Each structure stands twice: as C-alpha cells, then as structure tokens.
Amino acid sequence: MRTLILFALVGLGAQLVDGSLGMGYGVTSTTLLLAVGASPAAASATAHLAEIGTNLASGVSHWRFGNVDWKVVWKVGVPGAVGAAAGATFLSSLDTSVAAPLMNSILLALGLYVLIRFTVRGLNRQNLGKPMRKRFLAPLGLFAGFIDATGGGGWGPVGTPAILASGRMEPRKVIGSIDTSEFLVSASASVAFLLALGSQGIELVWVLGLLAGGLVAAPIAAWLVRHVPPRLLGSGVGGIIVFTNTRSLFNAFEVADAVRWPVYAVVVIAWIGAVVYSWKQYRADTENESVEAAAKLEQERRDALVAQLSEQDESVGAGRPQAPRD
C-alpha cells in the first residue's frame, strides 16, 4: 500500500506538471522508476502504460476547456506513434548496462533543455494564428516519438517548445494539443514494449499508482494551464530532472565523491538561481503587461471621447441655420 501511495503521489505531481507545461510526465516518472531499480525498458514501458490513461483523461479535460487544435493533434500524433514504436523496439534490444546510462543521458539533456528553455526564453507571438504546416509537424512528431520511447519521456520536451517557438498557436492550445496527441504515442510505445518484453520487469502496482495520481491531476492541470506561470514551473521541474539524472550517471560510472559533491553543489545553486530569476522575470512581465493594458485602455477611452466629441460637433453644425447668400 505504501508503494502504491508513493507512486500515486508521483503520478499526481508529474501530471500536474505535464498538464500545465505540456511536458514532464514521462521524464519525471521514468526518472523515479530508474532510481528505484527498474530496468530502462521496463521503466519506459511502465510510464507509457500509465500514460495511456492519463493522456486520455488529460485530452478530454483540455478539450472541455477549449485547449485542443485537432488538426495539429493528428498531424503530429500519427507520425509520433510511428516514431515511438521504433524507439521502443530499439530500447528493448539494448543491454541494460548500455541502456541505463543512455536513458539517463537523454533525460539529463531533456532536463537541461526544459530548465534553460523556461528560465531564459520567452514566447514569440509574432506568428500567432498562422496555420501549422504538416511538413513541420510530421518530422517533429516522428523524432519526438522516438526520443520519448527511448528516453522514457521526451514527447513534451521536444514537441511543446518547438511548436511554441513557431509562435503560431496560443500556449494553452499548444499544451492541450501536445497532451492530447501523446495518447497515440503512449499507446503505440506500450504495444511495442509489450511485444518485445512481454510483462517482464513491469510492476502492476507501479502502473496503477502512476495512473491513479495522473487521473486525479489531469482535470486540475487542464484548468491550471490558464493560471500557473509556466516559466516558474518549468525551471523548478527542469532542475529536479537535471539533479536526479546527474546523480544516476555518477552512480553508474562510479564517480569519486571529490568530483560529485562539487558538481551537486553547482547544480543546486544554478537550480535555485534559475527559479529565483524565473520568478523575478514573471513578476516583471506581469507588471509590464499590466502597464501596457492600462495604457491601451486609456488610449481606447481617449479615442472614444474624441469620436464622441466629433459626432457632437457634426450634430451641432448640422442644426445651425445656413447664412443667406448674396
């Protein structure tokens, strides 16, 4: 029961992050599974089996809140399913001694990407509203699906920032569409893992725990996506992923304490600095948006007043008697 509760809490937190950021469930849950001793293939398979249910619940929740663009879901999700099947087959064929450091390295890279992406960069809104091209979404889905299956996560960290960077969709619709399309990716990867591994190394309690927590969090996350600052949440989660997988790699390669502890200190200090910086930038951005909104409202009021005065002048002028002509 204790294990079930632990994994339910992890699933709850992972889905809150994933549903709010459009990334993080697979990376977070797989990192934990590796930490408790699961093999890389079993960890990825367990996370993807749980994600089938959580992605379905998350997709329905995002759809109800109007956060889904179905054209994008199909254009990126179907190639993603193909890539996920290929990635699951590839990972299942690797020896554990090779697969574990490989997966930790992929997760570390994804964690760094999430940390830097949400700490440093803002959103490009210049192309907002322009259609997403299939020639962009199809290769993106294929690559993200492959990384997702081999790394135990990656669909969101690869797909969400790439679409956000295009500036063609509202952030909430990017997150909702990526979360919804991930159902296809998770289902495809799960089938491929089961065909390759059977049920070897997959603990039903782990799957049920992650699934239970994720199902509770899915509707909450779909609502929070409108309110939680993604920049701050991304910095926090990215730091956790970086620290955990750095530790796992050091353990795998038996790095000496004289090296690992200074590195841990640097990672933690950088992580805290990133969270503080993200919070300050979020506050600054919020204040700037408030000032811009107030200035826009004031200008609209002035324009309305000028238009009203002009109408009054025209009415007065029309009512005056015309002077007689000579």
pLDDT digits (tens, 9 = 90+) for 61-101: 888 888 888 999 999 999 999 999 998 888 888 766 677 68
pLDDT at 16: 74
pLDDT at 81: 94
pLDDT at 142: 93
Name, in order, each residue with C-beta under 8 angstroms of 139's C-beta and a sequence gap of 6 or more: 79
pLDDT digits (tens, 9 = 90+) for 207-223: 888 888 878 877 777 77
pLDDT at 150: 82
Given pLDDT bands bounded at 50, 70 and 90, which one contains residue 60? confident
Would residue 301 count as lying in a domain?
no
Would residue 150 count as lying in a domain?
yes
What is the pLDDT averaged over residues 54-60? 83
**Domain of 218, in residue numbers:** 2-286
41 vs 70, higher pLDDT: 70
Would residue 38 count as lying in a domain?
yes
Would residue 326 count as lying in a domain?
no
Is-above-0.75 flag for pTM? no
Would residue 58 count as lying in a domain?
yes
Would residue 310 count as lying in a domain?
no
Would residue 294 count as lying in a domain?
no
Would residue 297 count as lying in a domain?
no
- Assess contact for 176 and 222: CB atoms under 8 A: yes
Q: What is the distance between the alpha carbons of residues 217 and 210, in angstroms, rounded to a whole number? A: 11
C-alpha distances out from residue 39 to 23, 125, 145, 237, 263, Å: 22, 42, 20, 23, 26
The number of domains in the chain is 1
Residue 37 φ/ψ, nearest 5 degrees: 105, 10
- Assess contact for 126 and 167: CB atoms under 8 A: yes
pLDDT digits (tens, 9 = 90+) for 101-155: 877 787 788 778 878 877 887 555 555 556 677 888 999 999 889 988 887 777 8
